[in-house]
Amino acid sequence: MNQSIAFHTLGCKQNQFDSQSLRVRLLELGFREARKLESARWIIVNTCAVTNRAIAKARGEISRLRRLNPDAEIIAVGCGVRYQPEHFSAADYVDTFPPALRLKGDDGEKNEIGADLPSPHGLIPAGRSRAMLRIQNGCDQFCSYCIVPHLRGRSRSVPADDCIAALRELLAGGIAEIVLTGTNIALWGRDLPGSPTLIDLLKSLVVEAGDSRIRLSTLEPQLISPDFIAWCVSQPQICRHFHLAVQSGSPRILTRMQRGEGPSDLYGFLRDLKCSRPEISIGADVIAGFPGETQADFGLTLNLIESIPFDYLHVFPFSERPGTKAANLGDRVPVSERLKRAKVLRERDKLQRESFIEINADKSQDVVILERNRFGHREGLTSNYRHVTFNDDFQPPGYRFTVPIEKCGSFAYK
């Protein structure tokens, strides 16, 4: 019987990690990976709940996969179906595995993907040079617009010894770049005995990392200090790339978001850092049109983006998520105005990306060689998160070295 599975993953790095974790568990149970979505017996679609658009996209993808492979059974899992299962009736199974796919110990009713902390071990993607290591799951912050803590629960950290063991396993498998992921990695350790901090964990990991490098996923700016960034920058094993969930430059709007008033000391430090080290990449998530956001508030966000300056932006027009406080806040910004502000931010994003590319042209970069891209070219990823292409196969995937770059391309960060 055809026992082949395929994954289609939407959303954040957490979802990518969940899919990878589930894939490993299913392969251990004897399933095999389909070479293509078209030939899979089962297609597992890991969905995202972060905006209305994410839910719509997941539904659209399920329909597309149904047309692509009418014989496959489609199983929708993850945050999107946990949040709004009623939107996923087009799938054959919703957050539930058919008997043949039930995992050991499951009752067959619910797949708890994303709800618990799977073992971080055994997550080496075959033939790959980069891998994710989840150090934490869940969040205690309950920002007023965010549904994620309601879906993933409170913060649970992977103990340091387990993180170190997993890192060693990944390094032994030839992985050259480990991306530390979690719902909110800056919370790492708060729930562990003695309340260690993320920097305590990083100090242990960089000792183990050897010639490999460690990339941090999204950081919540209100939870990290200038000292944290300064220490990371001093470590050659940590990538010159920080992605911050900034969301707004207005203290009033940040307060309505339940995110404090904004870490002005951190932003002042980043301004100075970008003056002295412009090659360090700093990106930001920004929400456009949060309830109550006036033109003046939006202007503060634009000022902040320019003054640091951030090198790229991920822009999200505000999207009401039923079940969150922000969904019931007054002073809503009309959808057309949200989209207008998002457009302004995206134009700013384009300019700032171009400027960062110029800054990095003709400079030497710390590069990890990746696998071939879809055009058959050998690619590399710089420490400050840009893709580069090589003309020759002079080094294998996973090789890390410093090389002069002739021409700079676009950012890799998605």
Comparing CB distances to ligand SF4, the nearer of 95 and 220 is 220
Identify the sign of the CA torsion 97, 103, 108, 113: negative
Question: Both tokens of residue 17?
Answer: 């990690």
Nearer to ligand SF4, 83 or 97 (CB): 83
What is the closest distance, in whole angstroms, from the C-beta atom of residue 141 to ligand SF4 in the complex? 4
Smallest separation (angstroms) from ligand SF4 to the CB of 354: 29
Minimum separation from the CB atom of position 185 to ligand SF4 (A): 10
d(CA 230, CA 233): 5
Let me know: does 323 contact 150? Beta carbons within 8 Å: yes
The distance of closest approach from Cβ of residue 331 to ligand SF4 in the complex, given in angstroms and rounded to an integer, is: 20
- Cis peptide leading into 317, omega within 30 of 0? no
Question: How far from each other are the two terminal CA atoms of the chain, in whole angstroms?
Answer: 38
Interacting residue ranges for ligand SF4, rule: CB under 6 A:
139, 141-143, 146, 148-149, 183-184, 220, 245
Vertex 238, ends 232 and 241: CA angle to 5°? 85
Please say which residue, 338 or 400, places its beta carbon nearer to ligand SF4. 338
- Give which of 332, 266, 264, 263 is closest to 294, Cα–Cα: 332
Compute the least distance from the CB of residue 329 to ligand SF4, in Å.
Answer: 15
Q: Which is nearer to ligand SF4, 151 or 229 (CB)?
A: 151
Give residue 333's identity as a one-letter amino acid code.
Answer: V
Kindly state the smallest distance separating residue 193's Cβ from ligand SF4, in Å: 23
Residue 411's identity, in one-letter code, is: F
By beta-carbon proximity to ligand SF4, the closer residue of 94 and 146 is 146
Choice between 135 and 139, CB closer to ligand SF4: 139
* Residue (132 or 381) nearer to ligand SF4, CB: 132
Q: Which is nearer to ligand SF4, 145 or 356 (CB)?
A: 145
CB of 340 to ligand SF4, least distance (A): 24
| Least distance CB 173 / ligand SF4 (angstroms) | 30
Between residues 148 and 170, which has the closer beta carbon with respect to ligand SF4?
148
Residue 204 CB, nearest approach to ligand SF4 (Å)? 24
Residue pair 118/166 in contact by the 8 Å Cβ criterion? no
Helix-helix angle 226-233:198-209, to 10 degrees: 0
